A and B are shown apart, each in its own frame.
Chain A
Amino acid sequence: MRTEPSVEISLEELIEQLAHLLPAQGPLHVFVHHNTLHAFEDLAFDDALLVARDLFAAEPYLSEERFRGFLAAGRIEEREIEESLAAEPGLLSEQPIGGGVTRGDVARALIVRGARPFEGAQLDWWLSESDATERLRADVDAARFGVVRGSESERQLVARLWECCLAAQTRLPRSELREAASTSDVGWASGLLVLSAIDNEVQRQIHPTLISLCSAFLDQGVARWSMPERHRGFYHATRRLWEVGRPRGERWMRRAAVLFAEHERAERSVEQILVHSLEALSIPTTRWERELGRRVTSMRGWAGMMHQLSKRPDWALSRPPASGLLEFLAVRQLFERAVRETYRPSRRGGGRAQRLRLEYRGPSTTSERAFLLFELAQIFGWSPESVSALGADDLARLFETVGQCDATLRRRVFQRAYERHYRDQLLDALLQAAERRERAESETTSPSFQLVTCIDEREESLRRHIEEIDPSAETFGYAGFFGIAMHYRGAADSYGVPLCPVAIRPRHEVTEEALDPSENVGRLRSRLRRWLGRSAQGVHRHSRGAGLGALMAGALGVLAAIPLVSRVLFPRVTGALRRKTEHAMVQSSASELRLERDPADLPGPDGRLLGFTVDEMAAIVGNVLEEIGLRRSFAPIVVIMGHGSESLNNPHESAHDCGACGGARGGPNARAFAQMANDRRVRERLRERGIEIPKRTRFVGAYHNTASEEIEVFDPPRRGELASIDDSTDGSGYLFAEVHRVLEEARMRNAHERCRRFESAPLPLHLSLRAALHHVEERSEDLAQARPELGHATNAAAVIGRRELTRQLYLDRRVFLVSYDPREDAELTVLRRLLDAVIPVVAGINLEYYFSHVDPRGYGCGTKLPHNITGLFGVMDGHRSDLRTGLPWQMVDQHEAMRLVVVIEQPADRLASLLASDPPWKQLVVNQWIQLVALDIEARRTFVFEGGVFRELEPKRRRLAQRDRSSDWYHASRAHLAPAWIERRER
């Protein structure tokens, strides 16, 4: 869509091109964060935003109003605006304009102070009905004009000023007039949003039908009666419905039936049918891409899901669809043709094209220009006389600058300043922390225990609390699938799920085997489980029918009042009760993972291998330990902690789960990793790689529920139990009891810290730790809770380096922490491996939040309250809307829309050489989708990658606050907090 195609392209290519315009989101249960504008990554960030704005009518940045709010609140400082203005090409800031100001001054005035946003008819109203031409702007110092506010003199002065501004317009040369109007007239007219009345009518006619057909075709199990002959593809399934059903609801449906029959007689293929329709609509081949693009974007959620599910049939819950975008377009265009042929344009009013022009434009009418001059005159303190003294050249230069500083430029400058502020703050904190650490006596004690969590920024606080409680504990961050790409089936599940990044299709199958006290108990449990499942399914299905539904409603309906009342009024207790019963009844008390595979085993029928060989295990464990820089000085206990999130009434639940596990819960990965690392044979092989794990060290898997703060430990060493690795007398059970105590305390503190963001917990946080824990538990069990947790909201940076860089820093759950030890990576092989996996993931999360926050309607899926789950793969807004993709507003409302600052602990020249080797994430960096920062910690220097080179940043030397404990820093505020140094002052 970006360039007008001059040559004919094949239908296949066309479909591929069109697919780029569509959201790449899969079904909800495999929600994976990805860059909403992934298809535009070959463009620079700012350019891509403008292209996308024209295509999707979506906002590129936050509104100026919000940015000015940040400015007023000190979130952005004026000097940062200054700096980002300086980076704006083509704005000759130093050039004087006249009236004693330069171009830069004008730009600054328009950005920082801003003209009141009135144009067109609104301005006319404002001029005639308000006192705008009689009173000074509220932010102007009246004394500068020598008048008193509210006095008659003010009225006269302002009226005269306005007259002069109007009069000045006549002095503006004609050519400049056109120039001023056209330079700022961004290419909206060519945008896809320009819809004619006919297009609107066509959409109104066919969309409801098309939506119900798509929904029925893709359905994964909501409807009890599925679409007949779906396996023949969308086109044929639809055609068959038309053949037998002969729908007559709308007038065009009859025509559609005729067309279907005609194509059938001519035995055309779906491709031919699409081409046929396009020709019948007399769209020339050269415009196919543009015209079809316009059409698919008007229903891009549905078209995108058609495409995604056909590309990734493994994402379907039960029935992968048999066809994709091509057939969708064939049906759509056939319908459109039917509508257009039914309602001939000769009909009254039909041919009148109403052009919907939504555009950002510069001042183009006389009064708009005069008003801008009027505003600038007030800001600069120009008297009516000095306005009259402005010559034609001055005015021309002034309006040229005004034209350049259109809304897009102003917002872009704000955006950069907004990002710069946070980036400088973070880098300052990192540098000062290094200094403080250097000053402090560094004593090397052996660690009491070690914890490896996901790199997820939500684990930042948990790690910090653990280190606060036990200063000799060490924590690490690694992508939460812990290197184990597996297809996993739990003991209580009848089918497995992939637990690894979506880009990987797992080749290994791992199953959990229940260890019940006796076979009978096991059988009983599984029978009970099946019975419960079947009855839940039965109630769900049959309560919707007439017959059994009547019986259920009439006879047992009143019983529904019990869960209704308890679920809504006492969510926590109800949830706990349900979980306990379920646990006792259907879950086995013990289980083990079937992990090991004989090297001679062949793959099963689905192409997957059952388990891992010892060599494979050793490779996995070795790689992970190497990448996080844990090669020696192992503690007696190493906890590996996966994470996930559980909440009710949340179709986007999976978006809160572990992204590295493909939007699933990473507990089994942690458990499997621990089991692998505890294997004696694995350790022997690791020793050959130079990783020496002492015999007494025991790995323990765990699972952290980020919504309820529950921490589940798998196969914990029990008190008194001997270390199971070998027969040394050192009982790790005793040690583990201590670790367990720290984890318990840490999860409560973590809950407490999270509560500060919830308005349901009054500030300052006087809640006890226990009450805070109950608070978050309640939220995860509450049907009415639209924000069970805040997910990745507020994520802002990633630090890839040793924990020493960030330890003792309060980072407000905003920073992805990736463990990496640059001292042992001379060849950068480890870093490359790490970045290839990490950067696309964290950038995807960050950018998805950016877009969903900046335009919740265009990029996000809006407020979740009216969402309506469709086909088990997506949500609509209420009744028959487009399928909504992106994140709901409730997930992103606390976010700060900034590009991720990726700080890597390596000198700039080494990173430059890494970039030069064309890594897969190069585009993200070069096109500025992320802000890459090289941190040379020894030299205390930072470099940011901008405009193709690493540029050194000047430290701002803001004071780094110090507090005894994290809670001293956060307990009185709901706002985003600056980094702080957490250290107990000796007294």
Chain B
Amino acid sequence: MSALDWARLLALTSLGAPAVAFVVLATRTMLARPWREERIGRFVGVAFTLSVLAAVALLAVMLALEIPALRVSFGVLFQLGHYRIEPSLSIDRLSLPFVLITSALCGIVGAFSHRYLHLESGYNRFFVLLTMFASAMLLLVTADSAVLVFASWELLGITSALLVAFYHERRGPVANGLWVWGIYRISDIGLIAMALLLVHTAGSEQFSSLFGPEAWPHRLSLGFFESRSSAAALPFATPLALLVVFAALGKSAQLPFSSWLPRAMEGPTQSSAIFYGALSVHAGAYLLLRVAPLLEQSFVARLLVITLGGTTAIHATLVERTQSDIKAALSYASLAQVGLIFVEIGLGFRLLAVAHIVGHACVRSLQFLRAPSLLRDVRAWRAALPLEDEARDDRSVSPALRALYAHALGRFHLDALLRRGVVEPVRGLFEALARAEEGLVERIKRGADDDGEGHS
């Protein structure tokens, strides 16, 4: 075997171990024969350890042998004329940090959950979802084709929604899970439309063939508003980029979709940590990085990313300051950082964005995992500090600030606005259509009956 084959093997191990774990656990669940806690814990532990070790080894091999990018192709899925759908994976300098951090964080959360969920009735279900999430996330960050990205994007969405609704015996988690799922589906429109448009206009949906094989390894853009990509100009670059941006905004809870993130804090603590603090919330940012060459070709899309990212950051910091429960506060804190990451991507500081994502994922996971210790932590440092002057509550606040506070506390009513501005009209439309259809069917039936009677 050549060194390249070895590297491929490592890559497949790293990506495959969680997937195998998922398949095994899911199969046993479907057969109604789930393993006992101890066994599941050990099994998942082994899978993630393998995955992390393989990823580290792969990093070493790729650095040592100066392999810029590793491609694993699964052949052509579909070809018709110049339409060609060819799912393939690519591991380059963008994917590798994400692979590493995904398997490491999922592994840590797996170890955490094994103890945390002890004797919980959803133990098995949680690990099925965790391994599914990890597989989807790994697929997303290594997919080289828009179709694969879409597939993993969907998997990610459904696992997230199911984890939000983890405590499905209560009403709140289910309602919020549905809300999250709804927003994901809306933003998915962008991704699927982009994939179709890409195939239609460029004839391929493979990133490497579209953007040139070396879009990421060598062209680490530090620049500003200028295109450095070697990719040939794509037709319809602006519509394509706008569609991707739309998809990314939903997944990363940027404005105007922000309100789903605090709602996602319904699952067990550690699932909030990993999904909404560390990984899932960065998926949109990753997507933008992946199609950065496309983004560079559209000034409008970049401007949009910068504007919305910036606004989200401001919005989230303001809201965060007023939230008095720790999980909502942390979720808005995440949002502020993701907003800034969007700005960085829009400005073209891609390397910075990657570093920011990795650092933010670590910090936020730790903070979320420690969230139930808040009372203890606060009391510890209060004891160490001289008593604060608490009278500042009473000082008068200017009306403008008070108004700002009122809006921030209400999270700028994004939820209600979305519901009233989008959900209710859309539902009204569909209800009207449904009624119209019923009426139509009724008329046709009556007509047919009349005909029948006429004949008899």
Chain A contact residues, CB within 8 Å of chain B: 28-29, 209, 212-213, 215-216, 218-219, 221-231, 240-242, 244-251, 317-319, 490, 492-495, 529-530, 532-534, 536-537, 540, 543-546, 549-550, 552-561, 563-565, 567-569, 586, 648-651, 653, 759-760, 782-787, 863-872, 876-881, 890, 893
Minimum CB distance partner of A553 in chain B: B360
Q: Which of B83-91, B147-155, B186-194, B364-372 contacts A (4 or more CB under 8 A)?
A: B364-372
Contact at B402–A245, with CB atoms within 8 Å? Answer: yes
Contact at B390–A869, with CB atoms within 8 Å? Answer: no
A-B contact pairs, 29 of them (CB 8 A): A223-B321, A223-B323, A225-B408, A241-B405, A244-B402, A245-B402, A245-B406, A247-B406, A545-B321, A546-B337, A549-B337, A550-B337, A552-B359, A552-B363, A553-B337, A567-B369, A569-B111, A782-B115, A784-B113, A784-B116, A864-B372, A866-B269, A869-B326, A871-B325, A872-B374, A877-B172, A879-B262, A881-B172, A890-B119
B370 partner residues in chain A, CB cutoff 8 A: 648-649, 783
Contact at A550–B381, with CB atoms within 8 Å? Answer: no
Separation of A784 and B166 alpha carbons in the complex (Å): 18
Separation of A568 and B264 alpha carbons in the complex (Å): 23
Contact at A494–B405, with CB atoms within 8 Å? Answer: no
> How many pairs of A and B residues are in contact by the CB < 8 Å rule?
302
Contact at A227–B405, with CB atoms within 8 Å? Answer: yes
Give the contacting residue for B402; candidates A213, A241, A878; CB below 8 A. Answer: A241
Minimum CB distance partner of B315 in chain A: A546
Separation of A881 and B387 alpha carbons in the complex (Å): 32
Q: Given A558-B362, A564-B365, A893-B119, A866–B380 Cβ distance below 8 Å? A: no
Q: Given A222-B325, A318-B388, A546–B336 Cβ distance below 8 Å? A: yes
Nearest CB in chain B: distance from A162 CB, A:
31
B361 partner residues in chain A, CB cutoff 8 A: 557
Minimum CB distance partner of A875 in chain B: B372
A549 partner residues in chain B, CB cutoff 8 A: 333, 336-337
Binary A-proximity of B350-384 (CB < 8 A = 1, otherwise 0):
00100110111111111101111111111111111
A893 partner residues in chain B, CB cutoff 8 A: 119
Separation of A493 and B372 alpha carbons in the complex (Å): 22
B358 partner residues in chain A, CB cutoff 8 A: 557-558
Nearest CB in chain B: distance from A620 CB, A:
27
Separation of A110 and B417 alpha carbons in the complex (Å): 56
A564 partner residues in chain B, CB cutoff 8 A: 108, 362, 365-366, 369
Q: Given A495-B383, A537-B381, A879–B266 Cβ distance below 8 Å? A: yes
Contact at A212–B410, with CB atoms within 8 Å? Answer: yes
Contact at B397–A228, with CB atoms within 8 Å? Answer: yes
Q: B293 within 8 Å of A by Cβ?
A: no
Minimum CB distance partner of A557 in chain B: B359
Contact at A879–B265, with CB atoms within 8 Å? Answer: yes
Separation of A229 and B316 alpha carbons in the complex (Å): 23
Q: Given A540-B377, A558-B358, A868–B383 Cβ distance below 8 Å? A: no
Q: B385 within 8 Å of A by Cβ?
A: yes
Nearest CB in chain A: distance from B297 CB, A:
27
Separation of A678 and B372 alpha carbons in the complex (Å): 42
Give the contacting residue for A878; candidates B173, B352, B406, B408; CB below 8 A. Answer: B173
Q: B70 within 8 Å of A by Cβ?
A: no
Contact at A546–B369, with CB atoms within 8 Å? Answer: no
B323 partner residues in chain A, CB cutoff 8 A: 222-223
Contact at A495–B382, with CB atoms within 8 Å? Answer: yes
Binary A-proximity of B396-424 (CB < 8 A = 1, otherwise 0):
11010111011111100101110010000
Contact at A318–B390, with CB atoms within 8 Å? Answer: yes
Nearest CB in chain B: distance from A112 CB, A:
28
Chain B interface, >50% SS class: helix
Contact at B325–A550, with CB atoms within 8 Å? Answer: no
Q: B348 within 8 Å of A by Cβ?
A: no
A546 partner residues in chain B, CB cutoff 8 A: 313-314, 316-317, 336-337, 339-340
Chain B contact residues, CB within 8 Å of chain A: 104, 108, 111-120, 166-167, 170, 172-173, 176, 262-270, 313-314, 316-317, 320-330, 332-333, 336-337, 339-340, 352, 355-356, 358-367, 369-388, 390, 393-394, 396-397, 399, 401-403, 405-410, 413, 415-417, 420
A650 partner residues in chain B, CB cutoff 8 A: 372-373, 376
Nearest CB in chain A: distance from B277 CB, A:
11
Separation of A133 and B240 alpha carbons in the complex (Å): 65
Contact at A29–B379, with CB atoms within 8 Å? Answer: yes
A219 partner residues in chain B, CB cutoff 8 A: 324
Interface-centre pick from B172, B173, B324, B370 (highest chain A CB count, 10 A): B324
Q: Given A318-B388, A494-B383, A553-B360, A865–B268 Cβ distance below 8 Å? A: yes
Contact at B324–A533, with CB atoms within 8 Å? Answer: no
A244 partner residues in chain B, CB cutoff 8 A: 399, 402-403, 406
Separation of A266 and B320 alpha carbons in the complex (Å): 36
B364 partner residues in chain A, CB cutoff 8 A: 553
Contact at A554–B394, with CB atoms within 8 Å? Answer: no
Contact at A568–B112, with CB atoms within 8 Å? Answer: yes
Separation of A557 and B333 alpha carbons in the complex (Å): 14
Nearest CB in chain B: distance from A13 CB, A:
32
Contact at A494–B387, with CB atoms within 8 Å? Answer: yes
Contact at B383–A492, with CB atoms within 8 Å? Answer: yes
Contact at A869–B410, with CB atoms within 8 Å? Answer: no
Separation of A561 and B382 alpha carbons in the complex (Å): 26
B172 partner residues in chain A, CB cutoff 8 A: 877-881
Separation of A95 and B89 alpha carbons in the complex (Å): 81
Nearest CB in chain A: distance from B101 CB, A:
9
Contact at B386–A494, with CB atoms within 8 Å? Answer: yes
A216 partner residues in chain B, CB cutoff 8 A: 322, 324, 409
Q: Given A215-B325, A231-B394, A558-B358, A648–B376 Cβ distance below 8 Å? A: yes
Separation of A866 and B122 alpha carbons in the complex (Å): 13
Separation of A552 and B356 alpha carbons in the complex (Å): 9
Separation of A224 and B407 alpha carbons in the complex (Å): 15
Q: Given A550-B356, A553-B356, A869-B374, A545–B336 Cβ distance below 8 Å? A: yes
Nearest CB in chain B: distance from A881 CB, A:
6
Contact at A556–B359, with CB atoms within 8 Å? Answer: yes
A247 partner residues in chain B, CB cutoff 8 A: 406-407, 410, 413
Contact at A759–B118, with CB atoms within 8 Å? Answer: yes
Contact at A495–B387, with CB atoms within 8 Å? Answer: yes
A250 partner residues in chain B, CB cutoff 8 A: 413, 416
**Given A224-B320, A546-B313, A559-B362, 12 new contacts (CB under 8 A):** A249-B415, A319-B393, A494-B385, A529-B384, A534-B384, A545-B317, A545-B336, A653-B376, A783-B370, A864-B372, A866-B167, A871-B324
Give the contacting residue for A868; candidates B173, B327, B403; CB below 8 A. Answer: B327
Contact at A29–B112, with CB atoms within 8 Å? Answer: no
Q: Given A318-B388, A544-B329, A563-B366, A869–B372 Cβ distance below 8 Å? A: yes
A785 partner residues in chain B, CB cutoff 8 A: 115-116
Minimum CB distance partner of A212 in chain B: B409
Give the contacting residue for A221; candidates B265, B333, B336, B378; CB below 8 A. Answer: B378
Separation of A550 and B355 alpha carbons in the complex (Å): 11
Give the contacting residue for B385; candidates A534, A586, A881; CB below 8 A. Answer: A534
